[in-house]
């Protein structure tokens, strides 16, 4: 009888692995330790829950603890794995102030990531939130909800301390919020706060929001955020959050603004403290290095999800791109591998999509020229704007596409898309092309769909490919 498959972390990667292993090898003992109360929750849904577009926090949960147990997985919440001894193949687990050892045959590190603490004073003030935990989302939703609309059903997950939420419910909602950081979370939360009629200030050090989406999309984001009523402070460093007990003002390079709420979202870092001194290796990103099957440098130890790197389809190099699909996919593959039969975790392309009010944005691959050059390419980019449908068909909207390719080989390196009409999902066409090493000349001749309600004869992607190929060959 094999020793158990032990999984550290009960979110996407961990539970995908545990479920898949148990399904493929029902006799194998599978144990999951989750240090918090929460399991299997949709990070990416939090802004929409805070906004009120998603009714209850339970809607964001894929699996309840009892559903996990019904799958035969031995789930332990509020259990923290604090040490790994790879030689003896045991982990040390702490819970309720007690400590115990558990042996493993295979071990998966799926410890996720954490919000970066801002290097500024005042982040410990009351009503300064980060958005990396469901608890924060619940508290923000309660705080934003006017007292007369308070309704415990929005916390239906069973995880939430209702007495704490009652305090948030009873307070008058904030009227002014400072968002520190204009990444995905900052942009999505701006929409959420505006929906509750807050005066919303977005501070961002770079000159455009969501830098991974590149300049063309960044410029459109600036326009949409501005038109939607977000007060943008770009190229602006926040110096301190200030207040007496709770946040009262944000002090930035460009002046001081009175606020009664702040959200800090300046990035996340992989949680890898657990593997220090185990022989598990970290990449340049600080996340765990794995091979194509999710195996770390230490035998029988795997890593997946937001704490691990993955191989990038374009560069062939290991990169850290913590996203939901990657975590689910790698977890599932590792569950299969542990159960028997090597299953690759798959490459990443860095595909991501972002909604900012009515603007849909997508990106995939390598769009930043410095990064492309670092990977040995000679990048060339072109940006075009074309209709999303036939010009005469109702709903046609301008769609901006940027493509980046390598000058010498013509190889497509990456692309971005922005527009109001089905722009985001179009990025999958480019992601597919990247996974199969496509030249811009080939892409230009892809037989993409055309019908007036859905696309013009020359889809915006084809227009962009045509223009970029002209630059490459001209």
Residues in 313-372 at the binding interface with a copy of itself, rule: CB under 8 A: 313, 323-326, 328-329, 344-355, 360, 362, 364
Q: Please give the angle made by the CA atoms of 273, 131 and 272, to the nearest 5 degrees.
A: 10
SS3 120: coil
For residues 440 and 403, the answer to whether their CB atoms sit within 8 Å is: yes
- If one asks whether residue 190 binds a copy of itself (CB under 8 A), the answer comes out as no
- If one asks whether residue 414 binds a copy of itself (CB under 8 A), the answer comes out as no
- CA dist., res. 269 & res. 119, Å (int): 14
The stretch among 88-96, 146-154, 268-276, 448-456 that binds a copy of itself (CB under 8 A) is 448-456
At 255, list the tokens: 């002046």
Rank residues 72 and 344 by Cβ distance to a copy of itself and give the closer one.
Answer: 344
The stretch among 163-171, 299-307, 369-377, 446-454 that binds a copy of itself (CB under 8 A) is 446-454
Minimum distance of a copy of itself from residue 392's CB (angstroms):
4
**How would you class 261 by CB atoms within 10 Å of its CB: exposed for 0-12, middle for 13-18, buried for 19 or more?**
buried
Question: Which residues, at least 6 apart from 173, have a Cβ–Cβ distance to it below 8 Å?
Answer: 143, 144, 145, 146, 196, 198
- CA dist., res. 291 & res. 281, Å (int): 11
Size of the site for a copy of itself (CB under 8 A): 70
- CA dist., res. 170 & res. 290, Å (int): 48
Minimum distance of a copy of itself from residue 48's CB (angstroms):
6
Q: Which conformational region is residue 423 in: left (phi greater than 0), alpha (psi within -120 to 50 degrees), or beta?
A: alpha
Q: Across the strands, what pairs with 263?
A: 129, 179
- If one asks whether residue 48 binds a copy of itself (CB under 8 A), the answer comes out as yes
Active site residues: 44
The stretch among 43-51, 72-80, 109-117, 215-223 that binds a copy of itself (CB under 8 A) is 43-51
The stretch among 44-52, 97-105, 158-166, 403-411 that binds a copy of itself (CB under 8 A) is 44-52
- Provide the pairing of β-strand 106-109 with 5-8: parallel
Rank residues 125 and 448 by Cβ distance to a copy of itself and give the closer one.
Answer: 448
Rank residues 170 and 437 by Cβ distance to a copy of itself and give the closer one.
Answer: 437
- CA dist., res. 96 & res. 98, Å (int): 5
Distance separating the N- and C-terminal Cα atoms of the chain: 66
**Pattern of binders to a copy of itself over 394-413, x per CB under 8 A?**
x-------------------
Minimum distance of a copy of itself from residue 96's CB (angstroms):
33
Binding site for a copy of itself (CB under 8 A): 12, 42, 44-45, 48, 53-54, 59-60, 313, 323-326, 328-329, 344-355, 360, 362, 364, 390-394, 422, 424-433, 435-438, 442-455, 457-459, 461-462
């Amino acid at each position: 009888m094999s020793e158990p498959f032990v999984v550290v972390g009960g979110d996407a990667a961990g539970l995908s692995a545990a479920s898949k292993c148990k399904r493929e090898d029902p006799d194998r003992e599978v144990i999951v330790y989750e240090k918090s109360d929460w399991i299997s929750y949709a990070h990416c849904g939090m802004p929409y829950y805070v906004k009120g577009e998603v009714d209850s926090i339970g809607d964001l949960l894929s699996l309840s603890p009892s559903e996990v147990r019904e799958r035969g997985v031995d789930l332990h919440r509020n259990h923290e794995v604090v040490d790994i001894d790879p030689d003896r193949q045991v982990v040390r687990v702490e819970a309720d102030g007690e400590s115990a050892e558990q042996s493993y045959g295979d071990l998966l590190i799926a410890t996720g990531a954490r919000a970066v603490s801002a290097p500024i004073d005042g982040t410990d003030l009351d009503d300064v939130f980060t958005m990396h935990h469901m608890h924060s989302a619940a508290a923000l939703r309660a705080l934003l909800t006017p007292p007369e609309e308070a309704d415990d059903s929005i916390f239906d997950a069973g995880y939430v301390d209702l007495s704490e939420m009652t305090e948030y419910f009873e307070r008058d909602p904030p009227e002014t919020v400072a968002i520190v950081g204009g990444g995905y979370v900052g942009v999505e939360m701006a929409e959420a706060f505006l929906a509750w009629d807050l005066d919303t200030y977005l501070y961002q050090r770079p000159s455009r929001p969501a830098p991974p989406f590149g300049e063309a999309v960044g410029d459109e984001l600036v326009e949409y955020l501005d038109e939607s009523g977000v007060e943008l402070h770009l190229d602006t460093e926040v110096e301190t959050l200030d207040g007496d007990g709770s946040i009262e003002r944000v002090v930035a390079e460009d002046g001081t603004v009175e606020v009664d709420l702040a959200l800090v979202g300046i990035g996340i870092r992989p949680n890898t403290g657990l593997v220090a001194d185990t022989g598990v290796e970290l990449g340049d990103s600080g996340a765990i290095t794995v091979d194509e099957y999710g195996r770390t440098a230490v035998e029988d130890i795997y890593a997946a999800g937001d704490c691990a790197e993955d191989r990038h389809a374009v560069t062939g190099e290991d990169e850290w791109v913590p996203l939901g699909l990657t975590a689910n996919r790698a977890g599932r593959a590792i569950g299969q591998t542990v159960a028997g039969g090597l299953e690759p975790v798959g490459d990443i392309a860095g595909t991501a999509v972002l909604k900012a009010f009515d603007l849909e944005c997508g990106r995939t691959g390598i769009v930043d020229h410095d990064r492309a050059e670092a990977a040995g390419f000679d990048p060339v980019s072109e940006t075009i704007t074309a209709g999303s449908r036939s010009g005469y068909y109702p709903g046609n909207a301008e769609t901006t596409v940027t493509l980046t390719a390598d000058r010498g080989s013509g190889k497509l390196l990456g692309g971005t898309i922005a527009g109001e009409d089905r722009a985001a999902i179009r990025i999958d066409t480019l992601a597919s092309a990247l996974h199969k090493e496509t030249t811009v000349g080939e892409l230009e001749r892809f037989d993409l769909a055309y019908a007036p309600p859905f696309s013009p004869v020359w889809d915006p992607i084809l227009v962009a490919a045509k223009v970029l190929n002209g630059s490459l060959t001209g």
